[in-house]
Amino acid sequence: MRIFLFAALAATLAAQQSAKKRPSPEAGDDKRGYTDTPQIPGQTWKVHDAARPRPPKIAPGLPLPSAQPPADAIQLFNGKDLSQWVNVMRGGTAQEPKWRVENGYIEIAPRTGRLVTKEKFGNCQVHVEWMVPVGSDGAGQGRGNSGIELMGRYEIQVLESFENVTYADGQAGSIYGQWPPRVNVSRPQGEWNSYDIVFEAPRFEAEKLTKPAYVTVVHNGVMVHHRQEILGAAIHRRVATYKAHEPEEPLSLQDHGRPVRFRNIWIRRLKPYDGQ
């Protein structure tokens, strides 16, 4: 009897440990879409519309070698340390980064807060490589969810979308809650994906938006958005809207409670181009 109790206790503790290691997805993450959300302005679809067609799936070309940053890029992660970043908890408290650095990549330490650059950026070109680790579970928004948050709020979704199905405007490469990628060019768990992003920051005069943000996204060498207008800050189940902010804001990587990996992150500031 005593042995049985001990075994049961050990099993419970092991289950708790494993639950700690692999936090369960947020409630509702496994939904494949919604029918009760508002219409997206200018589109025929609702936010996270369950009926919105998923983009066609295509195989990317052969994996490219991890890109060497160009000479004028700011290397945000060089495979070694998080000196360019802080973790910011919900509520805004900043702390030393808790995300793990190992084998040349960063891995999200779930629920320690988003990883935020110390530097701020406006118009920029960003390169980032990301991987959903083998064995990642959960469904829909629960499997491998993170995101590249331009100016901390305009999200290019990171998700396991090779096998895993979710609403079209929330899969990998989407402008979250707004625009699905034109094709699904995702690689499976355990393989590196790349994003090359060109971002034009929005402009405000006082509280008023005078120019929206635009984004071009290349996923695994394939264009999935071309100077697409961003409708506002990423938000779940609601229509995105703009709220005035600084001309430059930090870039962040989202903590959605899942252990996604990142490597080779660099950014270039883009100046207005006059042909010179």
Q: Which residue is nearest to Mg ion (CB)?
A: 147
Nearest CB to Mg ion, comparing residues 117 and 254: 254
Instruction: Report if residue 152 touches Mg ion, rule: CB under 5 A.
Output: no
Q: What is the C-alpha separation between 217 and 1, in angstroms, rounded? A: 61
Beta bridge partner(s), residue 194 = 129
- In sign, the C-alpha dihedral spanning 44, 146, 17, 164 is positive
Instruction: Report if residue 170 touches Mg ion, rule: CB under 5 A.
Output: no
Q: What is the C-alpha separation between 216 and 179, in angstroms, rounded? A: 12
Binding mask 250-269 for Mg ion (x = CB under 5 A): ----x---------------
9-17, 102-110, 117-125, 145-153 -> range binding Mg ion (CB under 5 A):
145-153
Q: What is the C-alpha separation between 135 and 155, in angstroms, rounded? A: 25
Nearest CB to Mg ion, comparing residues 178 and 254: 254
Q: State the number of binding residues for Mg ion (CB under 5 A).
A: 4
Of the residues 117, 145, 171, 186, which one makes contact with Mg ion according to CB under 5 A: 145
How far apart are CB 156 and Mg ion at their closest, in Å?
9
Nearest CB to Mg ion, comparing residues 73 and 138: 138
How far apart are CB 94 and Mg ion at their closest, in Å?
21
DSSP secondary structure of 189-225: TTS-EEEEEEEE--EEETTEEEE--EEEEEETTEEEE
Nearest CB to Mg ion, comparing residues 157 and 178: 157
Instruction: Report if residue 147 touches Mg ion, rule: CB under 5 A.
Output: yes
Residues 6 or more apart whose Cβ sits within 8 Å of residue 61: 220, 221
Q: Please choose, from the candidates 100, 186, 175, the residue with its C-alpha nearest in 3D space to the C-alpha of residue 143.
A: 186
Nearest CB to Mg ion, comparing residues 172 and 218: 172
Q: What is the dihedral of CA 232, 236, 237, 239, to 10 degrees?
A: -10
28-36, 89-97, 153-161, 266-274 -> range binding Mg ion (CB under 5 A):
153-161
**Site of interaction with Mg ion (CB under 5 A):** 145, 147, 157, 254
